[in-house]
Structure 1
């Protein structure tokens, strides 16, 4: 139990710097759209994909480029038109995480306000707006007119590259076959890769062990038991 508590509490917060984003076929198009800003054909861009695919990282990259504020869809609950007007006036660029959870009328008004001010919205969600259950026809038509780009979950090559980068950033060396072993058995997400490497680093230091396959087995068992 003590090891699990150390694992949970010692993990640093994720970093979303551009240099930490590993480009691969499954996210290349989405990154190109982020870099295309402000030359978007609509006030909004919809970014979608499963948990762990990197869409939040892309959102933070865009926020850094555009100076955007980052909010959750549910943050728009109870907002009046005056509140939304103040938000649009103060924030020419806005990232909305879990955008599918935003109240429809608030999102509709915010979209219109951003369009009037030539601002930009980045809508992040598991599914594209075309698959949302939208009751407000005017909102549905606006969101369907916005470009939507999907981010694929990491494949073996990308997941391996993320692990190798995490190891290199910590100046760690893994024995032969360790990365391939991890890729074949771990959760398929960039966040999981970060957690695995952090746990490898911690246990290798605490137990004075090499980062080999046996340690990888122990770390995956630790993470599985803590989840």
Structure 2
């Protein structure tokens, strides 16, 4: 597991920070580092909410890749023209879509993108979840007591948004109670965000 410098924007904050590279996105990162290998010099990136697609896109843009974030919201005819322009210029093109799957109506565009490199951010494993908890807490200025990740990782929802929501709940309860973020607060935050019946390990 490693980290690269990327501008990580959490709710209400915009200071540069890190993004975790782990099982969920390692293949994406490796592929984006080598755009010369992409079919038609084009890659399509999808993934769940809050999984860092835009952050990775901004990093790729700094590497000379043309990035269209929110490509699934762009008019398909316009997107087809932009794909053609990238082909003519020889510029690598990364299209980022929030929709999974991304259903494309325009046949020409669908066939072009269907032959492009398909990349997807997956579900984080335990190691990646632990690092994400620590980084989100650090960004919020939240100090987690020892043993936090060991307690939270087996119980937390396996999603990027779920991790952010849980750490936010811990932070909120700690501030409301004017108490350190220890196990009683971790447990109550889990109940608030997921409900006791949703926890993976009781």
- TM category (shorter chain) comes to 0.7 to 0.9
8 A contact 1:186–1:192 mirrored in 2: yes
Cα distance between partner residues in 2 of 1:155 and 1:183? 9
Unmatched runs of 5 consecutive residues or more in structure 1: 1-9, 69-92
Alpha-carbon displacement from aligned partner over 1:128-161 (angstroms, at most 9, x marks no partner): 7xx6443433222211221112211212221112
Equivalent pair of 2:38/2:116 in contact (CA under 8 Å): no
1:197 aligns with 2:197: no
- Say if 1:192 and 1:65 are closer, same or farther in 2 by CA, change over 3 A: farther
Partners of 1:194 and 1:154 lie apart in 2 by 13
Query: When the two structures are superposed, what TM-score results if normalisation uses the length of structure 1?
Result: 0.66
Higher helix share: 1
Q: Which structure 2 residue ranges, 5 or more long, are not aligned?
A: 1-9, 196-202
Question: What is the distance in 1 between the residues matched to 2:192 and 2:13?
Answer: 19
C-alpha distance after superposition, 1:25-74 (max 9, x if no partner): 221110112222466442321112233433233223223443x7xxxxxx
1:72 maps to what in 2? none
Establish whether residue 182 from structure 1 lines up as the match of residue 155 from structure 2: no
Q: Is the contact made by 1:49 and 1:152 (CA closer than 8 Å) also made in structure 2?
A: yes
- What residue is the counterpart of 1:29 in the other structure? 27
Q: Secondary structure at the match of 2:20?
A: coil
Distance 1:105 1:168, change over 3 A: closer
Aligned pair partner of 1:56 in 54, 67, 92: 54
Partner in structure 1 of residue 104 of structure 2 = 134
Q: 2-side partners of 1:193 and 1:134: how far apart? A: 31
Does the CA-based 8 Å contact 1:175-1:211 persist in structure 2?
no
Residues 162 and 193 of structure 1 are in contact (CA less than 8 Å); yes or no, is this contact kept in structure 2? yes
- Select which of 68, 79, 83 maps to 1:95: 68
Range with bigger deviation, 184-193 or 102-111 = 184-193
Distance 1:216 1:101, change over 3 A: same
- CA spacing shift, 1:135–1:165, aligned 2, 3 Å: closer
SS of the equivalent of 2:158 reads coil
In structure 2, the partner of 1:12 is: 12
SS at match of 2:12: coil
TM-score by length of 2: 0.72
User: Which structure is larger by alpha-carbon Rg, 1 or 2?
Assistant: 1
